[in-house]
A and B are shown apart, each in its own frame.
Chain A
């Protein structure tokens, strides 16, 4: 189709002509002293040389020129193409046959060397490419490495189009900024055609200049992922068959890499979705259970009061009312925690810095948990002087309620919970020690993770939010919270809050 491949290169012919002229001048003085057969042999030399260096056609040209020069200058009658002795014609024929044979042999040998060199280069190219892209873990890095490496090796612009959901071919990667010679729309249209047909295509894609686009579909068996476009940067001849093969091989390599990354990404996504779905169900279950239990107590008590108004003694009525209050408080704690979590997560929790009296907060916390603690005693162990700290009273109370209600929840009835406060010079330390189920060594940190619930909790339901929020609140105040085992059993949660807060 295009004849640019056979562009005439004239310099081998000029050099050959000069060489033969030079040889003729050099040989002329000895010419008649030598056997003419020797001179003919010498004239074979440029033929061989040309065949090895430039190929067949310059070699034939050298043979032809050699015969002419030999005839004109060395065969009597000299300086004429006429041949006196007709036997010389046989010599010419033998010369030509030998010349053609050596030329073609040398040329083939040269081509074979060239071919094997090219093969080696291709193999090295493919190897380097595959090494580069095999370590890529996501699509952008894969495409980036691939196109960069390939454009370096081939000295071509590399463009990759990928199909989304098996249609909608879109530009995924371009190795270099788009040169204005190429028409983007035309390229996309061609890529779409190649994607649809699944066959490689080679086409001129610029109006000016001879830019050639090689469109190679990226496909493995019936899966088609997109199209790779290689654009020669410089004007070049027709694609050699071995080059086309190389392009196909590169296309296959790219397709398998894209397939690998794509399937990996899909698998990862599926796994992630399943995991988050599982977590969501677990959270929903625990939250709904935590909400429903106090709700059942509230509804039951209220309907009991309404239905059997006259049945109840004043004392019983009060007990049902207390049940309603406790249930509502329990729900309130949960709702506060859910809200707190949402605000902590969203970074919307801004800290107020009021002067807080810790003793008051502790007192109000204990009051709120009175109904919840049943027969557990909460012993307060406070040092004489508790300094005032700066912080958000409501948040500090929520933190303390979470920690103490946890201690109540996971410790047996009739056990003791000790709340102690120690003031240092820089920090004030609150410790809540229970005699409950305790924690395993590896759980001491994890219990402050959101939604994490210790294995020791057994049948006791919960959301796994309380301590996570407590940690958030402690850290918001510039403090820390930690857990350690109590002796002989149970857990001690220690909250440390800074006394002097920087302004």
Chain B
């Protein structure tokens, strides 16, 4: 793993000096090459100049809003973006995820959490989107045949349940917002389908989890969406 991350370039766009310094020191210790920007303008400039492999973007920037920076990045590239948000800016967080952010970390955050998110985002961008068979612990998902096995036993899933599981598992480790799931599974965004989503997730958990109340595979990100936990 550390070989893969060697010389990975991470751009930190954050206005607070102390947090920027903390990110720089810690990420360098994890063998990332860290570039810094304190404003959105500077951040966009460095995206072009330093061509980073990943961007950590604070949503509360002084000049441009972090969301504007995210949009500008998305206009030109697919590079993974992790947003930093304050605990009380739920709406910004969901908006950022729906507009192309790969993941989010809420301030104050533990460094372990942030490094884990960075790894997932990098691995995801390195991997080809379509893999015929996904393995996650005791769970095997055969995308081509649309079949699922748990501990070697076949599991019967409805087409919708399978689509949900497929999207979550493809994005293992990343948060997927409710509206992203609705868009991808039902092909259109309709708020009235929101409660179906909860029901289908409930069905999936019943079929996959040993204890649906303490899910091992599909965990809820309160107020945001769901995250499929990647087996390391």
Tell me the A residues contacting B by CB distance below 8 Å.
Answer: 288-289, 292-301, 303-304, 307-308, 311-313, 316, 319-320, 323, 326-327, 330, 374, 458-460
Contact = CB atoms under 8 A, between A and B. Distances in A.
A319 B62 CA distance: 25
A307 B111 contact: yes
A297 B22 contact: yes
B25 A296 contact: no
Contacts of B109: 296, 299-300, 303
B108 interface: yes
Given A293-B19, A458-B62, A307 B108 contact: no
B129 interface: no
B153 to A, nearest CB: 37
A311 B19 CA distance: 19
Nearest to B29: A311
B22 A316 contact: no
The number of chain B residues touching the other chain, given as a range, is 20 to 34
Interface in B74-97: 86-88
A99 B74 CA distance: 113
A298 B16 CA distance: 13
B17 A374 contact: yes
Contact of A459 (B63, B107, B113): B63
Contact of A296 (B19, B21, B29, B88): B19
5 contacts: A296-B19, A299-B110, A307-B115, A323-B22, A459-B62
B145 interface: no
A300 B29 CA distance: 14
B111 A300 contact: yes
B30 A295 contact: no
A408 to B, nearest CB: 11
B28 A316 contact: yes
Contact of B16 (A297, A311, A319, A458): A297
B18 interface: yes
A415 to B, nearest CB: 16
A248 B88 CA distance: 59
B26 interface: yes
A292 B86 contact: yes
Nearest to B113: A303
Contact of B18 (A303, A308, A326): A326
Interface in B8-47: 15-19, 21-23, 25-26, 28-30
A303 B16 CA distance: 18
Contact of A297 (B15, B19, B88, B112): B19
Contact of A308 (B21, B26, B63): B26
Contacts of B15: 459
Given A292-B86, A300-B26, A459-B62, A319 B21 contact: yes
B107 A292 contact: yes
A143 B26 CA distance: 72
A308 B29 contact: yes
A300 B86 contact: no
Given A292-B108, A300-B109, A304-B26, 19 more contacts: A289-B86, A296-B108, A297-B18, A297-B21, A299-B110, A300-B22, A300-B23, A300-B108, A300-B110, A303-B109, A303-B112, A307-B111, A307-B115, A311-B30, A312-B29, A313-B29, A459-B15, A459-B62, A460-B62
A308 B108 contact: no
Contacts of B114: 300
Contacts of B62: 458-460
A294 B18 CA distance: 8
Contacts of A299: 108-110
B67 to A, nearest CB: 15
B6 to A, nearest CB: 14
B30 A303 contact: no
Contacts of A295: 108
B104 to A, nearest CB: 14
A214 B62 CA distance: 70
Interface in B97-127: 107-115
B25 A304 contact: yes
Nearest to A293: B16
A295 B16 CA distance: 12
Nearest to B88: A288
A324 to B, nearest CB: 9
Contacts of B111: 300-301, 303-304, 307-308
Nearest to A316: B25
A323 B110 contact: no
Contacts of B63: 459
